[in-house]
Structure 1
Amino acid sequence: MNKRLILVLFTMLMGCAGKSHQSFSTNIASETHKPCNKTEKAKVNLIGFSIGMNKCEVPGYAEYGEFDDYSGKVRLHGIKVKPMFDFDTNDKVEAVYIQIGPRRFEDLKEAYRKKYPELKCQSSKVQNRFGAQFENETCTVTGKDEILIISKYAENINNGVVLLKSLKSYEESKNRRKKYYDEI
């Protein structure tokens, strides 16, 4: 029997029919592999990625395996980006993180404002190591189980971020930060 046919049949039995060999080999190596069932579409998504979707449903996963080769193949409003993912213990997407240049922030903000009119933005000041201050802006939209955050500056003044995260994970992170700063 043809090796490709055996691989396709075995892949179908594992629940990821139609996925490539790369996806299959990654999934079979995982001890916690679950069948790839379609998840309910989330209200808020990020270029086709949504919180709670199964790993093998993520667009491009079959082509790019463990996402090492995503760089430059995914576009966010015309910008080449490399999404980074966090998966929970059930291989479901818990967060999608995309680094952006601060100069692209205004374009992204307007694009997401058209898509999500309920987008809310707040301004704040950030400071570099030399004491120079910059106007930062962070915009958020909250869905049923997820939050989308677009920030002009993140970690430093050279990078911004677009982050889609589960509300549960977001609240846990926020509480950890609060507790840390309360202890200082």
Structure 2
Amino acid sequence: MSGTSEVEQGDGRDRDPDGRARNARPRDGLGRPLPYGADGVERQPEGLVRSPEATVAEAQALLDGGKPFHAHEVFEDAWKAGPEEERALWRGLAQLAVGLTHAARGNTTGGARLLRRGAGAVEEWSSVTGRAHPYGMELGELAAWARELAGVVERDGTAISAETWAPRLRGRGA
């Protein structure tokens, strides 16, 4: 569990000390809640401001470890804290990670939809900004990966391995 102080209040919902809703239940590598007291995967701390390079490196490590839900949280931090002109990029990357999460959980329809939405978002950001390789990422390869995986999960209709299908954010040679 994270080092954040999380408490359960009288309404039965998990809340932080400031009263904001927080789910203190442990989660597995795909972000699914586990019973209280179970051993779960360490949650990503919320609201961290990382450099773009650190964001990409942390997200890649999580993706390689079969933890796309947690990679999505890293991208979400960049989306919320980054410069306005990059928010669509990080949001698109978060959608790709969530799409992979859903595909690995067996939600093939939602997974395929989010993978395609994320692919479109990073391609649109790239075309608007003229940047195809921000922070060493290969956006064209990521979009192609996402569309390929969307087709696979729709065709097969079964959960995939998040680790096996983890994308290479900086391309196949990275």
TM-score if structure 1 supplies the norm length?
Answer: 0.31
Q: Which has the larger radius of gyration?
A: 1
TM-score if structure 2 supplies the norm length?
Answer: 0.32
Structure in which a larger fraction of residues adopt helix: 2
